[in-house]
Structures are given as C-alpha cells and as structure tokens.
Structure 1
Amino acid sequence: MPSSTRAPAVAGSFYPADSGRLNDQLVQLLAEVDDPGGPPPKMLLVPHAGYVYSGPVAAHAYARLTGSRIERVVLLGPAHRVPLRGLAAPTAEEFETPLGRVVIDRAAMAQLQDLPQVVANDGAHALEHSLEVQLPFLQNVLGDFMLVPLAVGDASGDEVAEVLDRLWGGDETLIVISSDLSHYLPCAQARRLDGATIARVLALEAGIGTDEACGAFALNGALQVAHRRRLRARLLDLRNSGDTAGDSSRVVGYAAVAFDEPAP
C-alpha cells in the first residue's frame, strides 16, 4: 500500500538535510534580495538545481511572496527520472521536507480526476527533485499552505493549460512552474540562448523547446494561460551556474520570472 507521506529524496544533496542549516541558508538567500514591495504575483517561474547553484536566483522569486496570504500552491515541474505521458498526481496525503510536512489538497486533486492527461503515479514523484526543492522555500515564506504537486511529462500546452485553468482560483492560489533553462553549454553561448528564451517568456510566447528549458512542457501550458489571462511577466533574475558556483565552460541556465494579474 502506498505511503501517505512522500519522503524527501534530495535532502542532504540539493539542500541541507538538517532543518537548522536549511532554514539558515534560506534566510540568508532571501535576505540578499532587495525588498520588492507590491502585491504577490499570481505565477512564478523558478529554477530547480541544488541551492548552491540556483538558490540565489530562486530567492528572487520567493522573496516576492513575503507577507502574502497564499493558501494553496499549484506546483508543476518536469519528470526527470520516469518516462511519463501527461501529468502525474501523487496518491500521498503529504510531502515532507526537513522543515516539516505539507498537506496535499486532495479536493483540488479531485477536480482533475476526469482529465485523461492526469494520472496517479507515485513513481514519478518518488525521486523527483524539480518539485521537492521548491518546498523549503515555500515553507519559509508562506508558513502553512496546501499543495497540488504535478510532475509533467510529455504533455501538450493545451493539456497543461486545461489543468491550470481548473486550479486557477483567486488570490489564495499561487502557480509555480519549475524549470531550468539551457544545459551544459559554454557560458557565453548559454547566455545568448537563455536571453532569447526569456525574451519569449516575457512576451508570453509558447513554443519553448526542451533544449531551451527542461520544464518546457509545463512552461508552454503556463504561457498559454498567461497570455489568455493577460498576465504581465517581469524578469527578476537571469543567471547560470557559472555565475553562481560552477564551471563556466559547462553551465546550466536559471531564471526567476514573476507573472502578475492585470490591474482591475
């Protein structure tokens, strides 16, 4: 019988397994971001590498949530380890990190049961880091919230957009899209490619390729919805692992983008 709790898989590798060290790292990363002010965004694009590499970029997105009243986070990221058609929903009741447990919004999950592109698949979640690394940041800035985690495999933009429309909600709901950008290019080449990719993201243009963003399937669906709902995209940070903690000859690109709802 599946466990009711999805245990952390990358604590101790992507981020500290000790809760005190983890909290200290999060506080430091968030403190390095200038006070953004303004209302929280409706949607975020965030990277998902180890915190030493992408944490400073992710912090620019999560700092925008300080003081918000978000109650539910819809979290989509790519399935790296399991071949997957469509979107995978877990059967677990909770996701756990060193900072505690986050309750899954089963009522929201039930809203997706009739969609053929959404399947129950715990295997897609068991070792997946693209969703897990977002949780400590969210726990730090939001405190208590409910989670709708979906690992995204081969899915069309329309299929992802249909899921996001079902879960869109109001001010209480935040959408988080987890994706890195280009992988293992020389730094100068990565900056050119990532700059072009982010220009399209800021213009809300879908059609991003998987060589441009590893979370392209989720991102393209999110961009379709953002365009239709007239969200405004703002670039918060754009760097790569050569800029943060890695070898500049072979880098991974990271971006933080906020998507704001139009003014009433």
Structure 2
Amino acid sequence: MNIRYPAVAGRFYTHSPAQLQAQLDGWLNATDHDNESTANNTVEPSTIRALIVPHAGYMFSGQTAAKAYRQLLPLANKIKRIILIGPSHRYYFRGCALPPADVFATPLGNVTLSTQTIATLSELEDVELSEQAHALEHSLEVQLPFIQTIFNNFSLLPILTSNVSPAVLAKLIDSLWRSDDTLLIISSDLSHFHPYSQAQRIDRQTCQLIEQFEPSITPEQACGSTGINTLLLLAKRRGYQLKRVELINSGDTAGDKEKVVGYVSYLITDT
C-alpha cells in the first residue's frame, strides 16, 4: 500500500491522536449560538454542496474551519466522495497534481483515496501524478482530521493546483461534482502579512467578489484563488447560493496585528 504520511502533524496541529480528537470534538460539537454570525448563517445540511475553509495552523484558523465543518455532521453517512482542492505552496508545475497514493495518513488513521478516479484523471493533459508535490503540502492535510471526524464511509480525491486556469479545473471536476453524495472542499487562506486594519479591508473586498460570484480572485487576495474561482464558476452556472460563516485574521486569534493572515469560511448550497 502506498501511504502519504502526515507532514505537518506536530506543527499545524497536534500529533497526539487523543488530543487532536478531543480538540476537534470540542469545536465540532459546539452549539451554533456560541457565535452570532454562525447562528445567522445556519443552513439546511442536506443542501450543502461545498465549503471554503482556511488551512493555517489550528491555533490560528481551526475554529473558523470548524464552524463550517460542524454543519456537515448530519451528512456523516450521506457523503461518499469528497473532492478536496488546495494550492501547492512548495512546488510550481503546470496544471494539477494528484498523488500516486492509496491512502493519506493522519494521527487519526488512514483516509482512502479515489484511486480509480485518480488513475483516470492522470491520463488528461492538465493533470500529473506527483508524490513530490503532495509529500510536504499542508493545504490539504490540515483538512483531513476534520473530514475523518465527520464522515463515516467515503473516498477522497485530493487535487493540488499550480499553473492552471479556473476554467480548466472547472471542466476537470464538473462531472465529478454532480451527485448529492459528493462534497467539494476548497482550502484557502486570504491575504498574507498586511497590518491588521489593511488586511481587514483587503479581505472584505475579496469576500465581496466571492459573494458576487466574481471569479477574479488573485493569489494576492487568496492563496487558494484557483480553487475559489473554480467553485465560483461552477456555483454561478448551477444557481447555487453562498453563505459566509466567519471572517477573521490571525490578529484575532493567536498572532500579532503587525503582519496577519486572513481566514474565511463559507457554505455553498444548492438552494
């Protein structure tokens, strides 16, 4: 069995299975009225088709991600396939990179990959198999413990993006993201390393574009801009709705306010 082992356990999140599970359980089982914005954006779980969630260390952005993920708990047995898209931070390549692995491992166990779909997609022009691209990448890995905790029986299609257009990526996943038992997760942070008030302005402007389904987000506005723009293209085409759960930055959590990173979570629904 080809296993992609965790690269950022112990840095972005705890490597202790017991501590990690306890942290996730606490976040995911918190009541929505603990946060006014979350309560105001509660949706019918059966309508949720996609998420946008951040991918920083859990001390910085974990609760922002959890406030979106917790609304998926009623779908634990419904979702059978998850398409997870995030940016490659370490390697530049043309197109998209899929892993030549059977499972992704975390401290909570193994996540089964959609190996047949990976094999099929790897034959396409804009897709490559790359163990190197996935080996140290955190943008997908930090989502896995959330996914493992919520869902019971699913397979994962993990896609890293580099030099690829949203139109190409949209064409790649359009037919895969059709059935009600398939969930799309876009992993992205927002602006990086601006002073607190400047970052707030930039991130609010980015969210306005997202909420207008305007697929023109730049990498300076969101490191996972390709995935976000791809989602916006498909969601607008399908008439989906989008609800912001929470918008903060690292100055609101565990960082200083001199150079902050922005975090947002969204729910995308089909009604």
TM-score by length of 2: 0.93
- Alignment partner for residue 193 of structure 1, among 196, 202, 205? 202
Query: Following the alignment from structure 1 to structure 2, what is the Cα–Cα distance between the partners of residues 105 and 99?
Result: 19
Alpha-carbon deviation of 1:114?
A: 4.0
One-letter amino acid of the structure 2 residue matched with residue 99 of structure 1: L
1:169 offset after TM fit, Å? 3.0
Match of 1:257 in 2: 266
| SS class of match (1:67) | helix
Aligned residue for 2:174, secondary structure, equals helix
Q: Please name the residue that 1:85 is paired with.
A: 94
SS in structure 1 of the partner of residue 267 of structure 2: strand
Question: 2: CA distance between counterparts of 1:201 and 1:245?
Answer: 26
Whether the 8 Å contact between 1:203 and 1:233 is mirrored in structure 2 is no
| Cα offset, 1:166, TM superposition | 2.9
1:216-227 alignment runs, 5 A limit:
216-227=225-236
Looking at structure 2, the residues matched to 131 and 12 of structure 1 have their Cα atoms a distance apart, in angstroms, of 16
Out of 12, 15, 18, the position equivalent to 1:14 is: 12
1:116 to 112, 122, 125: 125
Q: Say whether the 8 Å CA contact 1:108–1:167 is kept in structure 2.
A: no
**Among 162, 180, 186, which residue is 1:177 paired with?**
186
Q: Count the aligned residue pairs.
A: 260
User: How many percent of aligned residue pairs carry the same amino acid?
Assistant: 43
Shift of 1:63: 0.7
Provide the secondary structure at the position in 2 that maps to 1:138. helix
SS in 2 for 1:52: helix
Give 1:76's match in structure 2, choosing from 71, 75, 85: 85
Asked whether the 8 Å contact 1:53–1:244 carries over to 2, the reply is yes
Matches within 5 A, 1:57-72: 57-68=64-75, 69-72=78-81
**Structure 2 counterparts to residues 10-159 of structure 1, below 5 A:** 10-34=8-32, 36=42, 38-40=44-46, 41-68=48-75, 69-159=78-168
C-alpha contact (below 8 Å) 1:182/1:190 kept by paired residues = yes
In structure 1, the partner of 2:38 is: none
Report SS of the residue matched to 1:13.
Answer: coil
C-alpha separation between the residues in 1 aligned to 2:127 and 2:79? Answer: 24
Q: Deviations over 1:214-240 (max 9, x none)?
A: 011121111111111111010011100
Q: Is the 8 A contact 1:111 1:166 kept in 2?
A: no
In structure 2, distance between residues paired with 1:144 and 1:26: 18
TM-fit CA distance, 1:113: 3.5
Cα distance in 1 between the residues matched to 2:255 and 2:212: 30
Distance in 2 separating the partners of 1:164 and 1:205: 19
Shift of 1:28: 1.7
For residues 60-111 of structure 1, what are the alpha-carbon distances to aligned partners after superposition, in whole Å with 9 as ceiling and x for unaligned?
1101110201111100000001112110011100000000101111222244
Q: Deviations over 1:110-146 (max 9, x none)?
A: 4424421111111110000000000000111113321
Q: Contact between 2:122 and 2:129, CA under 8 Å: does it hold in 1?
A: no
Q: State the Cα deviation string for residues 163-185 of structure 1 (Å, max 9, x = none).
A: 22031131110000000000011
Structure 1: give runs of 5+ residues left out of the alignment: none
* Runs of at least 5 residues in structure 2 that lack an aligned partner in the other structure: 34-41
Judged with a 3 Å threshold, the aligned counterparts in structure 2 of structure 1 residues 190 and 33 are, in CA distance, closer, same or farther, namely farther
User: Which consecutive segments of 4 or more residues in structure 1 shift more than 4 A?
Assistant: none
Rounded to whole Å, the distance in 1 between the matches of 2:178 and 2:217 is 26
Q: Secondary structure at the match of 1:85?
A: coil
1:231 aligns with 2:240: yes
1:12–1:261: structure 2 CA closer, same or farther, 3 Å change rule?
A: same
